[in-house]
Structure formats: C-alpha cells, structure tokens
A = this chain, B = another copy of it.
Amino acid sequence: MDSKEYELSDRERIAKRLKEARLQSGLKQEQAANLLNIQRPTISEIEAGRRKVSAEEIIQFADLYKVNPSWLLLEDDGNIDPSLMFAARELEKYKQEDIKKLIDILKILPK
C-alpha cells in the first residue's frame, strides 16, 4: 500500500518529503525548530503543506536532515542525466565564443 503522491500539489509533495526526512533523521519537530531557529508550529505547518518553504529553508532543511536538496525539490536524485553530462563535456572542447554562437543558433532552430 504505497502512498501515492499523485494528485498532490508540489507543495504537498515537498511537505511529505520534509516530514519523511525529519523522521528519518530522528528529530522531533521541536528539535528541528530549535536547530533552525524557527518556531515549532512552523515546522508543523510546513509539514502539513499549509505554509510555503523558501529556497533558503530548503537548503537548511536538507543540511539538517542530511538529504539531497534536489530530492526535497521532488527530483529523483541529485544526479544529472549522464547523456547531458556527456554533451556538456563535448561542448567544453569548443571555444567560449563558438558555444555562445551555438546557443544563439539553437534558440532559433525548430525542434
């Protein structure tokens, strides 16, 4: 009976991951709140998906809970697509000027 994250908003899904991460790290809401210098109800509201989480807070939560920041942003993991990396490294062989030109061309070309 896997809990489906479908039909949940991004905020709710992020909330779930934050709660999961906190529990995984063995911290109570109050402990997390103290360590991050925020109020405990704030943690409660965030984990309920009722309060937004800022980018900075995501960084802090990730650090405290020892999880990858990008996982909190609903990415599968923190890794970049290998084929993308390959393409990027190929591009590195070219001069900066040529790359700029390529980018301009790409912006114009149809897919």
Within the complex, which residue of B24, B94, B111 is in contact with A93, where a contact is CB–CB below 8 Å?
Answer: B111
What is the oligomeric copy number? 2
Partner of A52, one of B56, B73, B99: B56
Q: Are A87 and B91 in contact (CB under 8 A)?
A: yes
Specify which of B14, B59, B73, B87 is in contact with A92 (CB 8 Å cutoff).
B87
Given contacts A80-B77, A80-B78, contact A14 B55 (CB under 8 A): yes
B-chain residues with CB within 8 Å of residue A53 when the two chains form the complex = 54-55
Residues in chain B near residue A103, CB distance under 8 A: 24, 83, 86-87, 90, 94
- Residues in B whose Cβ lies below 8 Å from that of A99: 83-84, 87
- Please give the distance in Å from A66's CB to the nearest CB on chain B: 11
A46 and B77 CA atoms in complex are apart in Å by: 27
Residues of B within 8 A of A100 (CB): 83
Cβ distance A40 to chain B, nearest Cβ, rounded Å? 20
CA distance A101 to B107 in the complex (A): 11
A13 to B53, CA, bound (A): 17
